[in-house]
Amino acid sequence: MSALAEKLHPRRFTEMSPFMAAIVAFVLSESWTNPAIAEVTVSEAEDLVYVRKVGAVGFDGLQSLTDLRNNWNRLIDAAGLTQEERKEAVILFRLRIETLPGTEL
């Protein structure tokens, strides 16, 4: 497990919700939750995140994009990341959390 994954692992954050633990695992390409998240897509125009779990047909979870971004930023602030780790965490979040075509602001 990478140093970034160790620092962001849910076991370090006892108040982390199961949903956020699944998001962190998804962003870092880890398998910490069951069921794991298979896909996340985002509609910035609607400020919504759509989540599909492994084995599910269609999206079965909704979350506010603003809340998810804020929670991610709070987590990386609390994790004690180095400047390089923080940069990597931001890049991974942007890469793994997709934007639906045509919904960009």
Mean pLDDT, rounded, for 78-89: 96
- Does the pLDDT of residue 10 top 70, yes or no? yes
The answer to whether 96 and 25 are in contact (CB under 8 A) is no
User: What DSSP string describes 31-76?
Assistant: --SSSPEEEEEEETTTTEEEEEETT-SS--EEEEHHHHHHHHHHHH
Rg (CA), the chain: 13
Tokens in use for 37? 């998240």
- Does the pLDDT of residue 105 top 70, yes or no? no
Percent pLDDT > 70 in the chain is: 92
Q: Where are the domains of the chain?
A: 3-99
